[in-house]
Amino acid sequence: MAADIAALERAALNAVPAPRVAWEGAFVLRAFLGGTGRANAACSVDPREDPGLEARVTRIEAHYARLGLPCRFRSTPLDPPGLAPLLLDRGYEEAEGAVVMQAALPPVEDPAAHWLAGPEPEWLSVLATVEYQGAARRAEKEGGVPLLARPATWLVLREDGSAAACGHAVADGEFCGLFDLAVRPECRRQGWGRRLLGALAGWGAGQGASTCWLQVAPGNTAARRTYAAAGFEEAYRYRYFVRA
């Protein structure tokens, strides 16, 4: 299982780029504009014991202080032993992370699909109906496009000329990551979510990917039911620790 998690974590690092990347032991330190958690956090990629963990955390905190960003740790099953208790003792608070799910989806061609080269205004307008788009998050979505080193696409599904749903995918070998899946409120419970998954899986298959993966908030039960019904199963979870 740990090997599978490590492979998904590598795909995630490629799919969500950050312009500033440094290493501190087994921790990758990423920084962008302070918007999305994954692009602005420290995360371990090796679950083995780290005898110098406390001093390492101190250096990581100093790194983010130099950048003028809050120090945030993304905690996964690849953490070294003792990381979470150490952070809590140092005054960090746990914040919601995500459930990572994966599935082998059958590809589908959808006549409503319109493929874009980036997060264009129409695409962003659909996403804004389900996710708060602060200035930093929006700037990271737009500024991350030229940083991507893997094939990527942005999808809008239209009905009668109007955008009903949107999604984003990044292919990385056998994996196709699905992001920013959104359906306008007035279009929900009409099958658009399943259509998004099928169309993006079809694009991923064309890039050579056989496994789709996504991340969803633990409390988003409606989305989790949709993904489970489509064949997605939980692979692992992650959470954040942020300085109080």
DSSP state of 33: S
Band of the pLDDT at 3, cuts 50, 70, 90? low
Contact indicator for 124, 135 with CB cutoff of 8 Å: no
Domain with CATH 3.40.630.30 in the chain: 105-209
Position 1 pLDDT exceeds 50: no
pLDDT number for residue 203: 97
Q: How far is CA 178 from the centre of its chain?
A: 8
pLDDT at residue number 132: 67
- What secondary structure letter does DSSP report for 158? E
Say how far apart CA 46 and CA 53 lie, in whole Å.
12
Which CATH number is 105-209 given?
Answer: 3.40.630.30
Q: What is the pLDDT of residues 210-234, one digit of tens each?
A: 999 999 999 999 899 999 999 999 9
State pTM to two decimals. Answer: 0.93
* C-beta of residue 163 within 8 angstroms of C-beta of residue 125: yes
- How far is 241 from 244, CA to CA, in rounded Å? 9
Beta-carbon contacts of 114 under 8 Å, excluding residues fewer than 6 positions away, are 155, 156, 157, 158
Where do we find the tokens 């109906």?
129
DSSP code for 231: T
Task: Please return the burial class of 52, using the count of CB atoms within 10 Å of its CB with bins 0-12, 13-18 and 19+.
Answer: exposed
User: How many CB atoms are located within 10 Å of the residue 48 CB?
Assistant: 9
Torsion of CA 31, 216, 146, 34, to 10 degrees: -30
Angstrom distance (rounded) from CA 216 to CA 218: 6
Eight-class DSSP state of 34: S
Banded model confidence at residue 183, pLDDT cuts 50, 70, 90: very high
d(CA 175, CA 24): 27
Is the pLDDT assigned to residue 185 strictly greater than 70? Answer: yes
Instruction: Decide if 217 contacts 122 (C-beta within 8 A).
Output: no
Mean pLDDT taken over the chain: 94
